[in-house]
Amino acid sequence: MSVAQSCSLNPSEIIQVKALSRVNSEKILKGMFDVNPPSGMESKEIFDGEADDMLKICGGVPLAIIIVSGLLSWKSAKLAEPKMLGKSDCRSEAMTKILCMSYDDLSVPLQSCFLYLSVFPEGYIIKKDRLIRLWRAEGFIPGSLEESMWATGERYFKELISRRLIQPVLGYEDDHAVSCTVHDVVLDFLACLASKENFVTVGAELKPVRPLEVALPWSLMERAVAGLTPEPFLCYETVRRLSLQCCVEGRSDNLVSSNVHLCRVRSLLAFGASNGLPDLRAFKLIRVLDLEGSKSTSYFIIGSLFLLRYLGLKGTRIRSKDIERMGEFDHLQTLDIRRTGVQGLPIRMDRMPNLVSMLGDGLTFAPVDLEDHAICSYDEHVQNLEELSTIDITDERSRDDVATLLFRSKKLRMLGVRANRGGNTHGVIPFLNELRKYNLESLIIESDLCGLDEWEPWPELRRFELTKLLPRVPESWASLDSLTHLDFAIRKIEATDVLVLGELPKLTVLNLLSWEREGSGSIVSSVGFQSLEVASFKWLFGGMWLHFQEGAMPKLLKLRLEFNAAETMMEHGIGKFPCNLTQVAVSISCQNSTQTDVQDVERAIRDQVATHPRSANLSLQLTKYEGPVKMKPSDYPQSPSALVPSTFS
């Protein structure tokens, strides 16, 4: 309270929020248990025992109560020691107690994974896949014969969400957590603990210990040639992981001018478009280097960092020739060069025998703007590769190279390919047919080629994304028994297409774009789509002609619709929205539409929500905008994050 008064221009207007009463505290805890009930315990048993003691510690703080619900759901031992019981003296003390108990209840590997979140700035949206790759490179995920490291990393991520220690961010095209954020209070706790254990150091908090007169990494002549000043270094206390948060207002983290000597740093992560990175040549022992979005130009230095396990260069200014000048990376697991000027893969991937994730945009195997035309050598050096995206397979050589790589790789689970008109494309379909040999789980095809209309994916495929516009849904798709995620475009939705898609037994996420409006409408019956949880239907040049029968899509939770109001014939009716819906997002294009057209559509949508059996819990996001229907989800007027309820109140 005193801090707020000292910072406010009108201290008299500050209102101190009171702690929750015991009754309201129990309501919150019971509500969280309804979502994630503790295993093997009844609600009455919980409140007669440990939960009663834990609520005393919480002191009426909502965030503490929410985290306690996750703690009780996962508790592996007696949590509350007698000395910790009782009402806390202040709210900060209550939060500290609860967070300490939650942290202590984690397994040792998960403690490291949780503490690692302190490298990210406040309010930062942390992508799940990036986080798992970082955990793996840091050595936090133990090896196991029962499951892969990736599966273990996903399990850790889900456990942190279930324990209410991180907030999930659900994907726009998916109802699953694809990212997360950390509550400011939790992040403060992690930052304090990480600093105390010398686990993570934030650049702005570095403090020099003593000046050094000797032990410079190069001679004065070498420094002069490199364009560096001959000033002595400052010796900083041992730093293991360094986080440069240049995106945070008021933090420069510009270490170049200070000539910081950080030769023992194992990990360096830079956030924001920083031009003030430290001289990387001093980082001889670095394992993790994540420069995503950085505008540094000293990429040639990276080639001397032979111990790298993670190299994140997404959104930087690196070019193909910079990649080829790099040295051998015997330990490298992840190379992320998406959204860069890199056009070709490293000529010799045998320099990266432990590579697991190779991420780029339309990469080719042929050298680009290089005099060295050495042939890529795979041999047995790609056996650990799990992710490869996106590779251009338009020319015959690229297809042969990818085929060789697939043959050598034993663990590849995700592949993204691009094949567009303009090259030697007659062998693309036979190449895609060969992919069924390799048991890929996820496949992304970016293509405008003819011939894909009748191409049949393999039954084991789980995720499939296709940018090619199809005239209809192939009947053979009904045999994709393992498919859970499907994203594609069709010329127009016919009744037969809906029937084929409805037969997919495990389909949980469907994103369907219709190029034209259909003539007679499509009926979604109560027979198909028994597992569907998220559905997105978009009519690019027409209105919505979709009718839901009673009992259709029984497990559907989220429905997204986008269409033109003028082209929508409301006399056909929408039918009845699926009974278990929790969120409906509707985007209406008003192009060439009268006010009556828009009002009729809006009234029909609102009537459906009002008469829905779960109307009290059904969230409606209705947006109207001028212009045609947007092509990409990222162009939608409705922000994806607005559709996602926060875990924390």
Residues 46 and 131 in one domain: no
* 159 within a domain of the structure (yes/no): yes
* 348 within a domain of the structure (yes/no): no
Q: Find the largest Cα–Cα distance for the chain.
A: 85
Handedness of CA 621, 623, 629, 635 (dihedral sign): negative
Residues 600 and 511 in one domain: yes
Expressed as residue numbers, the domain containing 178 is 108-196
Q: What is the pLDDT of residues 219-249, one digit of tens each?
A: 444 544 445 444 444 445 578 999 988 755 4
- Decide: 66 and 95 in contact? Cβ < 8 Å: no
Secondary structure class of 587 (helix, strand, coil)? strand
Please state, for a pLDDT cut of 90, what percent of the chain lies above it: 33
Residues 510 and 581 in one domain: yes
What whole-number distance in Å separates Cα of residue 279 and Cα of residue 453?
A: 53
* 42 within a domain of the structure (yes/no): yes
Residues 544 and 563 in one domain: yes
- Decide: 91 and 58 in contact? Cβ < 8 Å: no
* 271 within a domain of the structure (yes/no): no
- Which among 184-193, 470-479, 586-595 has the top mean pLDDT? 184-193
What's the structural domain count of the chain?
A: 3
Instruction: State the amino acid at position 445 in one-letter form.
Output: I
* 118 within a domain of the structure (yes/no): yes
Which residue from 388, 502, 494, 395 is spatially nearest to 441, judged by alpha carbons? Answer: 388
Residues 46 and 65 in one domain: yes
Residues 502 and 605 in one domain: yes
DSSP 19-47: PPPHHHHHHHHHHHHHHSPPTT--HHHHH
Q: What is the pLDDT of residues 319-354, one digit of tens each?
A: 888 877 777 889 999 999 999 988 877 766 767 889
Which residue from 48, 164, 53, 148 is spatially nearest to 106, judged by alpha carbons? Answer: 164
* 235 within a domain of the structure (yes/no): no
Residues 179 and 61 in one domain: no
- Decide: 483 and 466 in contact? Cβ < 8 Å: no
What whole-number distance in Å separates Cα of residue 562 and Cα of residue 539?
A: 6
Residues 632 and 513 in one domain: yes
* C-alpha Rg value of the chain to the nearest Å: 28
What whole-number distance in Å separates Cα of residue 297 and Cα of residue 301?
A: 10
**Which domain-ending residue is among 104, 123, 141?**
104
pLDDT at 635: 38
Residues 124 and 76 in one domain: no
Q: Which long-range contacts (CB under 8 A, 24 or more apart) does 464-472 make?
A: 464/488, 469/515, 472/496, 472/497
Higher pLDDT, 258 or 456: 456
- Decide: 337 and 359 in contact? Cβ < 8 Å: yes
* 441 within a domain of the structure (yes/no): no
Characterise 3 by phi-psi region: left (phi > 0), alpha (psi -120 to 50), beta (else).
alpha
**Which domain-ending residue is among 61, 82, 104?**
104
Lowest model confidence (mean pLDDT) among 252-266, 281-295, 584-598: 252-266
Record the pTM.
0.82
Give 1: exposed, middle or buried? Use CB within 10 Å, 0-12, 13-18, 19+. exposed
Number of H helices, E strands in the chain: 16, 25
The domain spanning residue 177 has which CATH number? 1.10.10
Residues 540 and 646 in one domain: yes
What whole-number distance in Å separates Cα of residue 182 and Cα of residue 180?
A: 7
Instruction: State the amino acid at position 417 in one-letter form.
Output: V
> Cis peptide leading into 390, omega within 30 of 0?
yes
H/E stretch holding 160: helix 149-162
Residues 648 and 596 in one domain: yes
* 383 within a domain of the structure (yes/no): no
**Which domain-ending residue is among 104, 139, 162?**
104
Residues 147 and 183 in one domain: yes
